[in-house]
Structure formats: structure tokens, C-alpha cells
């Protein structure tokens, strides 16, 4: 019993903390998926003695698997409201899958360092966009031609799978920049989430497990993490939403932007050796 506790308790405790934090933050700030789970899990794993490179790989891979069930639920909800552009999904999915395949290969070969740098850069850019361009006018009035759309889809798949996030983090800003309504952009991006997370997490399941990874690994995915994070996120998101309902929405967006700036900046500092 003592051997079991010494091996598994640190991992389970770390995953419970991640699930609780991710659930409350998701409900509080109106966001979900890997943009919350990855940075929290990344730093919690390091506190448990995992190296930064391994922590990033485990965080992104585990996050991708948690996105699968949440994306299915999200797609159903948005489809009922008519907020999913299925014609766009039909055009984009082959290009997105190519991006996911290339991104998964890149992330595994880069051993986590590149993923940390990319997450840090994108997190900072998303935070700055939220702080300074929240009410900015669209950059263009419509989507580009089919070649441009293919590049957009591949771009979303490539960088999202490296970061361990669903389609919303990169997809929503790109669609709204092309004059998509925010609701339709969010609904369509929910389908991007399953296109990114399902093949991405399958690729991570068959990857080689690092020597310093925590207990309970299957490839790059931490199974106790998945089992702890998903139910706690679902249970505690309403608590975060209740707290958020008592606070100013503009202030909450600024808090989330600051959270992204700090976590993304910290990742970049670690990559640069500070």
C-alpha cells in the first residue's frame, strides 16, 4: 500500500489540482480546452519533479484527449443552435488533418521544447488580441479563395495539435478576422476541435514514453490525468461560471489575458534559459 501511494499519489494529486483549476477557470473565464489545461498541467507536473520538456509533451497530449469528449458535447449544442458552418467544415477538414499530421510529427521530434516556445508565443498573441483588439473591425470582409482557406485550415491544425488545444484558440480569431460572426465562429471551431484532438491524441498514444514521465502513461498521454481532469472540469465549471456571474465580464477577460501573458511568458523564459 505504501509503495502504491508513493508511486501514484503525486501523479493523482497533480492531476486533481489540474482538473480543479481548469474547471474553475473555464467556467469563470468562459473558455475551455487546452488553453487552460496545458499551462496548468505544465507547471503542476514540473512541481512534481518532471522536466519542462516532458511536462509540455504530457500536458499537450493529455489535453488533446480531454478535448475529444468535450468537443462532442460542444458540437451537439452548437449544431442545435445553427452555429456550425458544415459547408466550411467539409471544405477544410482534409487540409486540417494534413496540418494535424505534420504538427504531431513535429511536436514528437522536437521533444517538447518547440511546443513550449510555440504555446508561449501564441498564448501571448492571444492575450494581446484580447486586450487590444477585442472590438476591432474585421481585417477582411470574406474568406480568401480555396487555396487561402486550405492554408488557414492547415495552419490551425498544425499549431493547435502542437499546443494541445482545440480549434477555438486559433480558429475563432482567424474566422472573426474574416468577418465571421463570433457565435458562428465558435460553433464551427467546436468541430475543428474533434478534427484536431482525435487524430492528434491517437498519434500521442503510440509515441515513446519519456523516462521521467509520471506514473500511468500510455505513450505521451497520462491516463490518470485524463480520468481526473475531465470529470473535475465538468463538475467545477459551473462553480466557476457562478463566480463569474458575480464579477464584471470585461474584468474577467482582462484577468484571462493576464493569465495567458504570465503562463506564456513563463514558458518562453524557460525555453530561453531564464
> Coil, strand, or helix at residue 102?
helix
Residue pLDDT, tens place only, 45-92: 888 888 988 999 999 999 999 888 878 877 887 788 888 899 999 999
The share of the chain scoring above pLDDT 70, in percent, equals: 90
pLDDT of 104 strictly over 60: yes
How many domains does the structure of the chain reveal?
1
pLDDT of 195 strictly over 90: yes
Q: Is residue 1 part of a domain?
A: no
Q: Is residue 67 part of a domain?
A: yes
pLDDT score recorded for residue 125: 86
Q: Is residue 23 part of a domain?
A: yes
> Cβ(225)–Cβ(12) under 8 Å?
no
pLDDT of 151 strictly over 90: yes
Handedness of CA 18, 21, 27, 28 (dihedral sign): negative
Q: Is residue 164 part of a domain?
A: yes
pLDDT score recorded for residue 30: 57
What would the grid cell of residue 38 be? 496545458
Nearest of 39, 1, 51 to residue 261 by alpha carbon? 39
Rounded Cα–Cα distance for residues 241 and 180 (Å): 26
Q: Is residue 2 part of a domain?
A: no
Average pLDDT, the chain: 83
Rounded Cα–Cα distance for residues 63 and 221 (Å): 8
Q: Is residue 3 part of a domain?
A: no
Q: Is residue 72 part of a domain?
A: yes
Global pTM value:
0.84
Handedness of CA 85, 91, 97, 102 (dihedral sign): negative
Domain of residue 146: give its range: 8-272
Rounded Cα–Cα distance for residues 191 and 12 (Å): 30
Q: Which long-range contacts (CB under 8 A, 24 or more apart) does 135-143 make?
A: 138/176, 138/177, 138/178, 138/179, 139/177, 139/178, 140/177, 140/178, 140/179, 141/178, 141/179, 142/178, 142/179, 143/88, 143/178
Most confident region among 186-190, 220-224, 258-262 by mean pLDDT: 220-224
User: Which of 186 and 196 is assigned the larger pLDDT?
Assistant: 196
Exposed (0-12), middle (13-18) or buried (19+): which is 241, by Cβ within 10 Å?
Answer: middle
> Average pLDDT of 213-229?
88
Q: Is residue 77 part of a domain?
A: yes
Amino acid at each position: 500500500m505504501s509503495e502504491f501511494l508513493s508511486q501514484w499519489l503525486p501523479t493523482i494529486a497533480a492531476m486533481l489540482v489540474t482538473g480543479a483549476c481548469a474547471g474553475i477557470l473555464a467556467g469563470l473565464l468562459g473558455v475551455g480546452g487546452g488553453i487552460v489545461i496545458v499551462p496548468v498541467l505544465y507547471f503542476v507536473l514540473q512541481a512534481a519533479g518532471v522536466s519542462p520538456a516532458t511536462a509540455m509533451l504530457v500536458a499537450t497530449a493529455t489535453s488533446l484527449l480531454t478535448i475529444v469528449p468535450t468537443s462532442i458535447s460542444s458540437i451537439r449544442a452548437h449544431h442545435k443552435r445553427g452555429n456550425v458552418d458544415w459547408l466550411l467544415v467539409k471544405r477544410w477538414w482534409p487540409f486540417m488533418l494534413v496540418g494535424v499530421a505534420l504538427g504531431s510529427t513535429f511536436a514528437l521530434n522536437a521533444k517538447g521544447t518547440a511546443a513550449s516556445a510555440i504555446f508561449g508565443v501564441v498564448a501571448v498573441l492571444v492575450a494581446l488580441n484580447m486586450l487590444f483588439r477585442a472590438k476591432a473591425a474585421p481585417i477582411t470582409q470574406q474568406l480568401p479563395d480555396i487555396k487561402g482557406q486550405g492554408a488557414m485550415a492547415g495552419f490551425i491544425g498544425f499549431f493547435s495539435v502542437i499546443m494541445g488545444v482545440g480549434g477555438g484558440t486559433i480558429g475563432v480569431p482567424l474566422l472573426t478576422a474574416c468577418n465571421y460572426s463570433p457565435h458562428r465562429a465558435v460553433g464551427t471551431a467546436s468541430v475543428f476541435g474533434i478534427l484536431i484532438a482525435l487524430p492528434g491524441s491517437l498519434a500521442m498514444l503510440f509515441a515513446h514514453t519519456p523516462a521521467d514521465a509520471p506514473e500511468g502513461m500510455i505513450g505521451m498521454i497520462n491516463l490518470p490525468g485524463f480520468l481526473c481532469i475531465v470529470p473535475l472540469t465538468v463538475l467545477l465549471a459551473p462553480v466557476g461560471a457562478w463566480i463569474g456571474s458575480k464579477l464584471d465580464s470585461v474584468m474577467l477577460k482582462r484577468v484571462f489575458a493576464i493569465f495567458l501573458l504570465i503562463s506564456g511568458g513563463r514558458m518562453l523564459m524557460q525555453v530561453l534559459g531564464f
